[in-house]
Structure 1
């Protein structure tokens, strides 16, 4: 502190009294120089610093506004994308439901078709079986009829005499005559 006081005194007094000179003692003169520089900077630089800070503040506010606008746009796009996603999910569910329904219908149609085909096949098999049974019955009847006829002819031929033969012809002629009268 003594140096600071001495530096003030050295300006006005000392070996070179009455003359103006620079004190080259840096430690003694630095606080004065600094206070003068700071004072000048505060006086003249206050407006510049204030303008710089105001400009910086405006840029930050503009950046925040732009960020808010971008965020708002992004939120709007996100909402639109979510709405489209819900719509696509609904359409996908409907498609899935329709396809499952179509698959079930096709499955039921196939089952019904197979059932109908099997029923027709069974009916055909039953008809064929019935036809074959009728044919077998007819063959057996024809064979039995043939056998009975052969037996009857054999019996007739062995027991038929002339008188029985004439009586049979008379009876048949009588039956034919009666049928003719009924027809007229």
Structure 2
């Protein structure tokens, strides 16, 4: 190993004209080395690099297309969701309006039923009052008739003697005979 190191050192100190040697100027050696490395990379790596770039480009395009499709799908789903939301809101509004209408209708129906019941009760009350009035009038008539008959009987008993009694019977018999003759 010492021989290899010595040979590199001797090359550094023995720059011969036309011989092999090492250039110790850093700026010159770096530019030359870089240009050689770049040339080799460009020559050999051109196909590999273009394949890598093409693959990367295809992946990026594929990702963009997938993203666009997902975005379009999401936009479609969003539009469908908005349409369903509008339908649900319209249905809720209809239910609300119908509910209020139904409540108002039921309220009107209850008022009408209560009014009809009240009218029926009023009619029943009036009929009951009229019936009770008729009954009271009939009772008064019966009492008056009884009292009149009692007075008449009392008057007849006090004024009726046998002769008047016989005349009344004869008169009534005559009326009955006349009625019989008229009907025959």
Specify the TM-score bucket, using the shorter chain as the normaliser.
0.7 to 0.9
Shift in CA distance, 76/180, structure 1 to aligned 2, threshold 3 Å: same
Match of 1:32 in 2: 32
Match of 2:46 in 1: 46
Q: Number of aligned pairs?
A: 172
TM-score normalized by the length of structure 2:
0.75
The alpha carbon displacement at 1:132 in A equals 0.8
TM-score normalized by the length of structure 1:
0.75
Residues 137-171 of structure 1: per-residue CA shift (max 9 Å, x gap): 11111111112222222222222233322232223
Unaligned runs of 5+ in 2: 1-10
Alignment root-mean-square deviation, CA: 2.8
Task: Provide the secondary structure at the position in 1 that maps to 2:19.
Answer: coil
Match of 2:136 in 1: 136
Unaligned runs of 5+ in 1: 1-10
1:139-150 equivalent positions in 2, closer than 5 A: 139-150=139-150
Partner Cα distance (1:172, 1:31) in 2: 173
Deviates more, 1:161-170 or 1:133-142: 161-170
1:14-33 equivalent positions in 2, closer than 5 A: 15-17=14-16, 18-24=18-24, 26=26, 29-33=29-33
Q: Which runs of 4+ in 1 moved over 6 A?
A: none
Partner Cα distance (1:176, 1:146) in 2: 27
The alpha carbon displacement at 1:75 in A equals 2.0
